[in-house]
Amino acid sequence: MTMHDKLMEDLLTLEPSAFYLKHIVKSHNWYFSSYLHIPQDEIVDKMDYFNEIVSSSLKINFHSLQIVGSAKTGYSLSPRNVLRPFHEQAPDTKSSDIDIAIVSERLYLKFWSELRQVKGIQYDQYYYNHLTASIFRGFINDKDLLKIKGPREEWEDMTAPINVLLQDKLGIEHPITYRLYRSWDDLEEYQIIGISKARAALEGKKSV
């Protein structure tokens, strides 16, 4: 059975929490094994090195991060692109990202506090509502931070060296995105909601 078929089967049969544990939390990583072609007996060391680079640069616990998304499983779990393969940039689409979940109440509260002090942010109602909705659910997207002067520069200063090291030391050349989570519970809740929506989308496709 291919990985695509296995993911489809598990999406349709496992409870979302069980799918999250099996395919997101546990150690198998598609990008390292199938894209970078790291030998099986070296993957744990390479993953540890990945965690070391990110955690030491952000000054967080070694275990306070998790690769998620299509880089983790090889296929998207987004309801809009359910089971779309991880892909390179093409004329009509951008490359898949390496999505890194950072679980740090300290960083989450730090940037939440800074966002609250940005003048005029509330006047862009669409953006303000989008941002506050994510904060209510316990996470902050770096794509949101990068839109706001002040937090943008600070976040770029923190992550740019990480991106360079990951490329130089591990050969990771795809765009890297980050999401700050207040807690592991918030990360799990976000992932389970996404998995549930992906399952519903897949069931809808199969019924057509």
- 113-162 pLDDT, tens digit per residue, is 988 887 766 666 656 677 888 999 999 999 988 888 888 999 999 999 99
Coil, strand or helix: which one is 77?
coil
Coil, strand or helix: which one is 62?
coil
Identify the pLDDT of residue 132.
82
Give the global pTM. Answer: 0.92
The parts of the chain modelled with pLDDT lower than 70 are 120-128, 206-208
Coil, strand or helix: which one is 178?
strand
- Report the distance separating Cα 130 and Cα 153, nearest Å: 21
CB 102 within 8 A of CB 65: yes
Identify the pLDDT of residue 6.
94
